Amino acid sequence: MQIVDAAAIVMGRQGFQQTSVEDVIREAGLCGKGHFYHYFKSKEELGYEVLRHQFDLFAESGLAVLRDPMLAPLDRLDRFIDWVVESQAERGCCEDVSPCGALGTEMAEQHEGFRRHVDALFERWTAQLQALLWEARPLLVDDFDAEGLARFMVATLEGALFMSRVKREVAVLQGIATELKRFVGSHVRLAGCPEGTLGARSATIDVERRTVGTESGQ
What confidence tens digit (pLDDT) does each residue in 154-181 have? Answer: 999 988 888 888 888 889 999 999 999 9
Who has greater pLDDT, 32 or 192? 32
Over residues 142-153, the pLDDT tens digits come to 888 999 999 999
Architecture of domain 51-215: Orthogonal Bundle (1.10)
- 59 closest CA partner among 148, 3, 124: 124
Do 140 and 189 contact (CB within 8 A), yes or no? yes
Query: 1-41 belongs to which CATH class?
Result: mainly alpha
Strand partners, 188: 140
What local confidence, expressed as pLDDT, does residue 14 receive?
A: 83
Q: Kindly report the three-state secondary structure assignment for every residue of 13-52.
A: HHCCCCCCHHHHHHHHCCCCHHHHHHHCCCHHHHHHHHHH
pTM, whole model, 2 decimals?
0.77
User: Can you give the residue ranges of every domain in the chain?
Assistant: 1-41, 51-215
